Amino acid sequence: MLIVGLVVAIADGDTLTVLNEDFQQVKVRLAEIDAPEKKQAFGTRSRQSLGELCHEKRAEVRVIDVDRYKRIVGRVSCAGVDANAAQVRRGMAWVYDRYAKDKTLYRLQDEARSGGRGLWRDPHAISPWTWRSGQRANRG
């Protein structure tokens, strides 16, 4: 399934909202990647990066799944640019090992890491899934 529309909002580095052709807002989670959380290092910068790529641009979303939060999960192309890959290439998101099927994303991540781009400037960068589990443990 393909959703086409205008990106009207950026929630974070891996989630955006598309106004589809039926003028309905659809929340979309970029598949196969995981960006830093808002309160995590590089969280704000990752959100800004996705905004540069997609905000107020035409998007095509190739739907892969629907997550537990009822968001569409998909590969997103904004103005012809693969946003999922671009976020990894820029060092603004990790490849989400648990869900990654596109193995070329790992090459982009390795290049970003070796080039010290984005979150890879920090040699001790913590993946969002590790950070979230630490936040849950701290609440307990």
Residue numbers annotated as active site: 29, 37, 71
User: CB burial class (10 A; 0-12, 13-18, 19+) of residue 70?
Assistant: exposed
Which residue, chain included where needed, has tokens 């290049």?
A: 111
- DSSP letter assigned to residue 32: T
In angstroms, the CA 61 to CA 75 distance is 6
CA atoms of 9 and 36, how far apart (whole Å): 17
Asked if residue 112 lies in contact with residue 85, where contact means CB atoms within 8 angstroms, the answer is no
